[in-house]
Amino acid sequence: MTDGLLRVTKYSLRLLWPIGLVLAGFLVLAPLVLGLLCRVVFGLFPYALYQSSEIHLLFLGVSWFLFLGLCFGELQQIQRMMPQMPVRSVEIVSGPILSTMGITLVCYLLTNVFYRLLYFDENWLREYWPVTGPTLFLMTLVMVVHSAYWNLQPIGFIRILFWSGFGLGMLYWLLTRYFPQGLNGPLFPWTQVTLSELATMLLVNVIAWIVAVRSFASVRCGTTVHSWMWERVTAFLSSFKHRTLRKENIGFPSAWSAVSRLYWLDSCRTLTLIIALLGCLVFFINLSSYLYHASQGKVELDPNMSPMFGLSALFSIQAAIVILFGGLINSLSTRNYSQMKGYLAGVPLSDRELSAVLLRCILKCVILSLLFVVILGLGGSYIAFVLSQGTDVIRQCWQSVVTFESKSELLITAGYALLAYWIFVANSISLFWLNSTCFAGNLILLLPLLLVASIFGIFYPVFGFVLLLLFVGLSWSATVIAYIQAYRARLIGVQVIWLAALFCLIVPAFYWNFWSYNELPTKLFQSSLLVFTVLPFATIPLAVSWNRHR
């Protein structure tokens, strides 16, 4: 057993360590860049912002989400390699568990060490940033994810309900460590792990490991089947999809519209439905929070004062970005990224027409995601709460909107946020499409350089200004080069170039006087970020052409 376990563990470690380093670098670099900007703009690094238990909970949510995503990707790779592994089932299950726990533990502790060196004082463990309890809980969570993954291979509604309830129970148990006087009580850091808490997590680990081994053995033997209810529901949805395709495939006016519809059904419609469900979830969570505070006598008309509004907005928008990115990066190439999907590569359209189809579908996905999450989820829950409070509250809310003095600033900020959403999603997709096989490797090489540069920028503000000016020059140069390459390859026309040039001249100049600071490099940096709005309209056609002819 030792030899097989060692081989599987070494294979998993070789697969996981580059991605783990990328995640750790992201967790360290993101607050460091934020601190660098605060140092450049305000002349002070925000140490007090990071030294709080609320930021600690936010860090736990983001970091655990990333590490569990790493665990899920590794499980999918192991499942694909399962027929080629001449080892026992217990070894195949235990090896990835040990490797995932090891990589997660090292990266998580390494991130905390960097946080201690950069942000915290000597009282960090006792006052606002515990490590022992969250680390043990994260290890338990990794084990439970492995167990749930293999147990849900023969999927059924009862299993889904059980694991959903178990996950919510684990979340509630964790929150009670930080809120010992109830969820409405004060927040205390989980500084000490009692013997009963340690025994509970050890018991869950052992049971989850046993369930994972037994479930994997059943999957490997081929004796598992989906529940009859699940089979009937999926069969009904599949037949409904086929009937819809047959009806909608009749009478397409052109090959362009037919390919657009096929790509939407193949890669975009499922993402849109998932984001619609996310918007409904955000709607009900926010509305429940508003109604709960209203029942306690706290009718607050400003949505920013709601304790749930900021967190739900942050996590829902992040979740929408992850869903779009995770779904659309796999929409161009096959699963192993070795070649372009057959129906896209052989379609009777030019590269320019095909890239226009894909750009239109991506833009449609982004608009619908904003519609479901921001307008329906966040805005709809607030409007429903105000309407439920009666005519007096509606009149008071309308009067506050009419007398609000910063309407223009609110609209300008909202426009900048919408552009930032498109910039992040579209440029991430185009970067991955341009060279997906070297994506993680490029990040590994780039993150240490950015980390060192950010550290120098914190302690030497002049160096920070130089970095901002360097970024401005690189962003404008990259945009110009991308448009020249796309035009030479006949992937875009002169009209697209003129529209992009007008945008780059008008919109950054419009936002120039909106920034509240006077430093020229910082203004150039903020305005230059808007140039990335038009960059995908050149890089995505280049990526489509490269994937089609490689």
CA-based nearest residue to 533, from 498, 514, 508 = 508
CA-based nearest residue to 227, from 144, 145, 151, 148 = 151
pLDDT at 307: 47
What is the rounded average pLDDT of the residues 289-315? 60
Q: How many residues would you count in the chain? A: 550
User: Picking from 148-152, 245-249, 478-482, which range would have the lowest pLDDT averaged per residue?
Assistant: 245-249
Q: Read off the pLDDT of residues 498-535 as tens digits, 9 standing for 90 and up.
A: 999 999 888 888 877 776 666 666 677 777 888 888 98
What is the rounded average pLDDT of the residues 321-339? 72
- Answer with the residue of higher pLDDT: 14 or 399: 14
Contact 208, 216 (CB under 8 A): no
Helices (H), 152-268: 157-178, 195-221, 228-248, 255-263
Q: Is the pLDDT of residue 337 over 80?
A: no
Contact 140, 205 (CB under 8 A): yes
The b-or-e profile of 469-482 (16+ CB within 10 A means b, else e) is eeebeebeeebeeb
User: Picking from 118-122, 264-268, 342-346, which range would have the lowest pLDDT averaged per residue?
Assistant: 118-122
Q: Read off the pLDDT of residues 215-243 as tens digits, 9 standing for 90 and up.
A: 888 887 777 777 788 778 777 766 665 55
CA distance linking residue 495 with residue 501, whole number of Å: 10
Q: Read off the pLDDT of residues 448-483 as tens digits, 9 standing for 90 and up.
A: 555 555 555 555 566 666 777 777 787 888 888 889
Q: Read off the pLDDT of residues 44-78 as tens digits, 9 standing for 90 and up.
A: 555 555 556 667 777 777 777 778 777 877 787 77
Q: Is the pLDDT of residue 447 over 50?
A: no
> How crowded is residue 41: how many other Cβ atoms within 10 Å of its Cβ?
17
The domains of the chain are located at 1-240, 254-403, 427-549
CA dist list (Å): 390 to 225, 381, 385, 397, 547? 52, 15, 10, 11, 57
CA distance linking residue 200 with residue 193, whole number of Å: 11
| Residue 442 CB partners (closer than 8 Å, separation 6+) | 435
Q: Is the pLDDT of residue 441 over 50?
A: no
DSSP character at residue 150: H
Contact 138, 64 (CB under 8 A): yes
pLDDT at 104: 85
